[in-house]
A and B are shown apart, each in its own frame.
Chain A
Amino acid sequence: MDTFIEFFSFSDPSIVSVVIGAVLLTASSAVVGTFTFLKKKALVGDAVAHAVLPGICLAFILSGTKNPIWMIIGAFITGWLSLVIIDHITTKSKIKEDTAIALILSVFFGVGILMLTNIQHSGNANQTGLDSFLFGKAAALVGQDLIIFAVVALILIVTVALFFKELKLIAFDSHYAKALGIPVKHLDLLLTSLTVLAVVTGIQAVGVVLMAAMLITPAAAARFWTNDVLKMTMIAAILGGLSGLSGAYVSFVAPSMPTGPWIVIIISVLAIVSFFIAPKRGILARSVQQNKLKQQILDENLLKELYHLGEKDDDFYRGRTVEALIEERYFPKQSLKIGLRRLKRQGFLSQRDGKWCYTEAGKLKGQRVVKLHRLWELYLSKYMKIAPDHVHEDAETIEHIITPEIEMELERMLEYPELDPHKEKIPY
């Protein structure tokens, strides 16, 4: 608890700089990542993260110093170059995008490693710590880094804010954007530059491999909570910032723990939790919905089969046994019984000496399903010119989702028909 208070009171200036640095970085890369995610180019961040290595080495060889400004310029150039080459290979040859990304990513990194080892073996005493660019040293952020991070984060966020509408448009429909006269190519270039900038600065904190996560994961998590791009961007920034903060806290509590990987683990956990529990799009919400739909389909099918049985002997309210129902149409026995009991609870069925029979409401509901089925069959064979023996399957699914409005429209269009294509009576 003491460490918790010590950390979150921010009384130690070195804690403040680490926290501010980590939060600024993670939040601003999450903002940029939202757009690469929406453009389905999430893995491009990974490519850039690897491609900056030769640039960093080159900057060191040429300048002879580890001045972060030079490093960033060098990294920016090769990072940018990698994306241009990936784009060129994808558009100009038969090689697909994923291969191009994997190829450029690994080749640039290989070249970088060759240069790095060459520098290390050259005996230049100045080079020690150059490989911290590979693995990240978030816990060792100092004042100068912080200023750079803050400036970069500000540039990223302000640029995205200024071009928000245009970026949103090209993320979803670049053809439409082009038709509106928006300079799509320039905006693509802008997004590329922002991505490279985010990666280049972020790498110093979390390292090469994990930088990709800073771009992808917050956006992926945020996508599950909203359909609105503005909200998504904000949620991604908040989740990213939160993981930056907690990552810094973990490495404060356990100094031997690497900050970067902890940031990634925390944001990944947040993302996976989102995948499961998010309303509407989450796995749980979706399976609840599916179950509901399955139940509804089963219930409606049961009522429909009771109607069919009633049609046969012209007695809709007679009690039917479970076996009779199964004989009319196969239902798994267990779910059949559950469904019958549910329908009884809802007042559509009643039970008499072990047999099931319609209530008034049940008959109406069963009748409506049969009607919809037959109307749809007629519609398909009349308007879609589909042979009568091919329409059943389709009607079987559509009957459960036709709304009263469509029902009325169908009736009107077909002029309240008497018979379906199989010459069966359509009940009203």
Chain B
Amino acid sequence: MDALYIILTSSLFAIACGLLGCFLVLRKMAMVGDAISHAVLPGIVIAFLFTGTRDSFEMIIGAGLLGIFSTFLIEFFHKRAKLQTDASIGVTFTSLFALGVILISVFAGQVDLDQECVLYGEIAYVPIDLWITDSGTNLGPRALYISSITLILIILFIRIGFKQLYITTFDPAFAATTGVSVALWNYLLMGSVSMTTVAAFDSVGAILVVALMVAPPATAYLLTDNFKKMLLITSIIAIVISILGYYLAVMLDGSIAGAVVTVAGIIFGIVYLFSPSNGILFKRMAQKREAKNLAQKTA
């Protein structure tokens, strides 16, 4: 039963992250996702201080706002100070992350958070952290609810805003002429990225959220040019890596989140080399065949 809870939670988070990640990868904003996942840290600590609990609604909102704030800062340094994009991302997220770590040290006694759990989370605790009502009824693991709600919200968001998200991703100039606000949808997307990050933080940690946002979409991107198919393949990969990752972690007696990401990396590697349409090996073989044909023709 514990294994099922863990795999289920991990799959739900991985799908939510992966769906958003598809947009990030295509918008060339993968590193913005990485930046947000680090930059929400001070928001989490502050929300922690106010609410005193790890999985309150306020905390997700608070940290979500901080994520949007970091997007705003990146834009500000880039547009107003004319700082190049990569440096603007780098300066923003490292300084916010540093601020978060300092806040943790300052309030060390009051905040039940440490650097380790921030960086790599612990999904193995999912079955232990149960939601028990005041009357004593056991409703099952808390994280399962959080991950389900997150995924439902993300699917709703993508479903409702699909047209706008799609057009602002693929043709922002055209979007602007048809009256779709590129900036608004950018901030909405970044807001969702922040909230998903925060919701998944506890279970999978900051860096591994990034892996879930990037690895499955990048793999799917190598397998198809159709965006809807890409979303679908991403979701399938998310489930597969959650299952395989769990058993790899059990086998090696190590972090589940780490193992999930490792499997995601391995799958990417396999697709990268062997994908029928884009794989490096097949491309090379095709090139050789062509060269051979050419040689025969000329001979």
Contact = CB atoms under 8 A, between A and B. Distances in A.
B5 interface: no
B94 A107 contact: no
Given A103-B30, A265-B99, A283 B81 contact: yes
Contacts of A157: none
B102 A135 contact: no
Contact of A106 (B25, B90, B97, B210): B210
Contacts of B264: 107, 110
Given A37-B87, A98-B31, A213-B94, A114 B208 contact: no
A395 interface: no
A167 interface: no
B87 A107 contact: no
A93 B222 contact: yes
Chain A interface residue bracket vs B: 35 or more
B254 A117 contact: yes
Contacts of B77: 275
Q: Is the interface of A mostly helix, strand, loop or mixed?
A: helix
Contact of B207 (A94, A109, A122, A282): A109
B258 to A, nearest CB: 4
A106 B211 contact: yes
B252 A261 contact: no
B214 A102 contact: yes
A145 interface: no
B280 A93 contact: yes
B98 A105 contact: no
A341 interface: no
B280 A92 contact: yes
A111 B102 contact: no
B260 A110 contact: yes
A206 to B, nearest CB: 9
Interface string A323-347: 0000000000000000000000000
A276 B283 CA distance: 49
A105 B34 contact: yes
A262 interface: yes
Contacts of B134: none
A102 B86 contact: no
B28 A122 contact: no
Interface string B211-248: 10111001001100000000000000000000000001
Contacts, number: 213
A111 B28 CA distance: 24
B159 interface: no
A110 B94 contact: no
A257 B102 contact: yes
A43 B29 contact: no
A200 interface: no
B117 to A, nearest CB: 12
Contacts of B262: 107, 110-111, 114
B285 interface: no
Contacts of A219: 87
A264 B254 contact: no
A212 interface: yes
Interface in B1-40: 25, 28-31, 33-34, 38
A98 B257 contact: no
A95 interface: yes
A335 B252 CA distance: 72
B97 A210 contact: yes
Contacts of B38: 209
A102 B222 contact: no
Contacts of A95: 25, 218, 221-222
Contact of B89 (A43, A271, A281): A43
A114 B252 contact: yes
Given A98-B31, A275-B83, A107 B91 contact: no
B255 A43 contact: no
Given A110-B261, A281-B82, A283-B81, A93 B255 contact: no
A220 B94 contact: no
A195 interface: no
Contact of B210 (A37, A105, A212): A105
Contacts of A257: 102, 105-106
A112 B115 CA distance: 16
B106 to A, nearest CB: 8
Contacts of B283: 92
A283 B31 contact: no
Contacts of A41: 86
A224 B88 CA distance: 13
B268 interface: yes
Contacts of A399: none
A50 B82 CA distance: 28
Given A105-B207, A109-B207, A131-B116, 9 more contacts: A42-B86, A106-B208, A107-B262, A109-B261, A111-B262, A113-B120, A215-B90, A217-B91, A257-B102
15 contacts: A96-B28, A96-B30, A99-B221, A106-B207, A109-B211, A110-B260, A114-B262, A116-B254, A209-B97, A213-B94, A220-B83, A223-B83, A261-B101, A264-B95, A283-B81
